[in-house]
Amino acid sequence: MLLEIENLVARYGRITALNGISLTVGEGEIVTLIGANGAGKTTTLRAISGLVRPASGSIRFDGREIDRLAPSEIVRAGIGHAPEGRHVFPRMTVRENLELGAYTRRVRSEIADETARVLDIFPRLKERYAQKAGTMSGGEQQMLAIGRAMMSRPRLLLLDEPSLGLSPKLVQTIFVVIREINARGTTILLIEQNARQALAVASRGYVLEVGSIAHSGAASSLAASEAVRAAYLGGAA
Amino acid sequence: MRLIAPLTARLPPALRTPRAGTALAFAAALALPFIGRNGAFTNFLADAGAFVLLALGLNIVVGFAGLLDLGYAAFFAIGSYSYAMLASPQFGIHLPFWVLLFVASAIAAIFGILLGAPTLRLRGDYLAIVTLGFGEIVPQTFLNLSQWTGGPNGIGSLDQPVLFGYRFGFNPLPYYLMVLGLIALAAWLANNLRTSRLGRAWMAIREDELAAAHMGINTTSTKLAAFAMGASFSGLAGCALASKLQLVSPDQFMFNVSVFVLAMLVLGGMGNIPGVIVGSLILSALERFILPQTTNFMHNVGLNVDLTNSRFLIYGVILVTMMLFRPEGLIPSRQRKAELHAGQADRRAAAAEGELLTEVIH
């Protein structure tokens, strides 16, 4: 397994956000984590990235304990994270944003290769290459956030609500891109409120309910499960 | 840049590059004291030069890394007192000036890290309040540790720099030339830092600290590096000015100095090196010449108004006017300009969004 989380507990002060969750992501998979607001989805990703310190439990990446590493070391270890709400650098150009995505990398030719790959996946970013990120549309900013996270050439890409706030057409585009990034060899852990789309693109899924994993299994069986359908897929599928 | 564009447009293309502009400005600065041959003017240039160094240092902290530091004079004080204690009869230690230049800036940098460390989790207003506190504590400490620092009298009879047997003495000219050399060094260093990996990390933190952490930037060490670099420049300034005045005392490093330097950045253009230098020179000239001369003039025409007493009011008016009409400063950096005219950018973004909704992107 590329990523193994065991009994992860995370707290904000006295509030328990994650109450002992366990999940795994295998090399080459797309795994999705779905659940209601406040279930702990974002906290899980932030714990993997080292931005939230787990109270207990372990996170192993490629067999190595990473739960005590600094966020910068986790990026170097091979985990890229496109955060919720995009968080692009608004006053910097697309180019400068991508360059910062490659901050942990030193070899110029590799950075150039990576930039070419990202621009190949997102032709729109090529058109906007010299434009300030803050002046772009939400969809373009989301593409930039994903592209920027790919610049560190992660083995595991964490995507937090990539379709949030986008028009239906753009949501389609984002999911096509997620599939494409995965097809090119990057493992993906995807958080989505758009459960139907997420389960369609993922091979396996986990359902988080108030800090615990309520259901897990193959994406197709989760999508067919009555409990999941009732709670997250709005009944009729 | 818009401001000087009409002037530069007449120059031949070879002289329009930033490099040529820098060389011209440096040559002019070098020639300035020899044209006037006026001791008071050279004296002013030397003092103003020390403040240019301070402004360049604070620009790293506030302009590049976006950490609002309201107690920057503390590091100026530490640099000055380092020189005073190690090159005066106070302890009978007389280390050479040129060695102390590095020592003082290293000591200031260490204090930059020590004072920066507790503020790492703070940002914005909270950071400003804590640094304001440091700015108060440091001169108070020098005031009260009178057995070492001479208390309110400070330390006097500081050693004058000696270069290859030439004693700087009381003539301001050698001090000015030295400060000019330090400014050239500091501006070169700041410019290289700006485009370096570290500089990009500073700007990422300034833009969005959370996103910077996501990029694998170690925000702790990057912020501490900004405090250390900024403080080291003020160590140079402190050393230079202390050796020229041959006196340090706590009242030289009060809150108004921190605000004065910050106002230089706001006026000139935060984050932009030429802007910061210009802003610094304007405020120094205002303080030393423009206000006293205008007051003199008013007295001569029979108006009993003393502008020098109300100089903080005048600085305040200048800052408010700048905030209202040109918040990015006289010579803005590209990003500040974009940030402060975000309203226009939002409209463009909205237009782009509308366009996107009507077409498929992939």
Determine, for residues B357 and A167 on separate chains, whether the beta-carbon distance falls below 8 Å.
yes
Are the CB atoms for B129 and B239 separated by under 8 Å? no
Would residue B29 count as lying in a domain? no
Residue B339 placed within a domain: no
User: Mind listing the pLDDT tens digit for each residue in B258-299?
Assistant: 988 998 998 888 888 999 999 999 999 888 888 888 888 888
Q: Is residue A237 part of a domain?
A: no
Torsions phi, psi of A235, nearest 5?
75, -110
Number of domains in chain A: 1
Q: Does residue B197 fall inside a structural domain?
A: yes
Q: Is residue B101 part of a domain?
A: yes
Q: CB B321: neighbour CB atoms within 10 A? A: 11
B335 pLDDT band (50/70/90 cuts)?
low
In a domain, A229, yes or no: no
- B350 occurs within a structural domain: no
**Chain B residues lying within 8 Å of A81, measured CB to CB:** 214
CATH number at residue B206: 1.10.3470
Over chain A (237 residues), the average pLDDT of each successive run of 10 is: 95 91 95 90 94 94 93 93 92 93 90 93 93 92 94 95 90 93 95 90 93 91 85 60
Give pLDDT tens digits for B132-162.
999 999 999 999 988 888 888 888 878 888 7
Range of the domain at A104: 3-23+38-187+196-219
Which residues 164-223 of A have a C-beta within 8 angstroms of B?
167, 169-170, 173, 176-177
Task: Tell which of A135, A159, A160, A176 to mutate to test the B interface (max B CBs under 10 Å).
Answer: A135
In a domain, A127, yes or no: yes
Here the CATH number for the domain that contains residue A180 is 3.40.50.300
pLDDT over 70 (residue B26): yes
> Do the chains contact at B213 and A90, CB–CB below 8 Å?
no
| DSSP string covering B211-277 | HHHHTT--HHHHHHHHHHHHHHHHHHHHHHHHHHHTEE-GGGGSHHHHHHHHHHHHHH-TT-HHHHH
Q: Does a structural domain hold residue B212? A: yes
- Separation CA A32–CA A205 (nearest Å): 5
Whether residue A203 is contained in a domain is answered as yes
Contact: B352, A169; criterion CB under 8 Å? no
| pLDDT at residue A187, rounded to an integer | 97
Which of B217, B342, B360 shows the shortest C-beta gap to A103? Answer: B217
Averaged confidence pLDDT in chain B: 83
Nearest CA-CA distance, residue A72 and chain B, Å:
4
C-alpha span between B335 and B348 (Å, rounded): 17
Q: What is the ipTM metric for this complex?
A: 0.88
Residue B4's pLDDT band (cuts 50, 70, 90): low
**Considering its fold, how many domains does chain B have in total?**
1
Contacts with A140 from chain B: Cβ below 8 Å: 352, 356
Q: Which residue in B has a C-alpha nearest to residue A90's C-alpha?
A: B207
- Entry pTM: 0.85
Phi, psi of B91, deg, nearest 5: -115, 5
**Mean pLDDT within B64-92:** 90
Interface test with A, best of B198, B203, B215, B340 (most A CBs within 10 A): B215
Is position A69 within any domain? Answer: yes
Number of residue pairs across A and B with CB atoms under 8 Å? Answer: 103
Least confident of A44-48, B194-198, B228-232, B349-353: B349-353
Distance, CA of B66 to CA of B58 (rounded, Å):
10
Residue window 76-105, chain A: list those with CB within 8 Å of chain B.
76, 81-83, 87-92, 96, 99-101, 103-104
B335·A91 Cβ contact <8 A: yes
- Out of B215, B218, B357, whose CB is closest to A101? B215
Residue A28 lies in a domain: no
Show the domain range for B74. 38-331
Asked if residue A149 lies in contact with residue A157, where contact means CB atoms within 8 angstroms, the answer is: yes
- Any domain includes B206: yes
Query: Closest to A137 (Cβ–Cβ): which among B197, B213, B356?
Result: B356
B346 within domain boundaries: no
Q: What are the angstrom distances between the C-alpha of B152 and each of A20, B72, B86, B141, B145?
A: 61, 20, 19, 11, 10
How far apart, in whole angstroms, are the C-alpha atoms of residue B148 and residue B85? 8
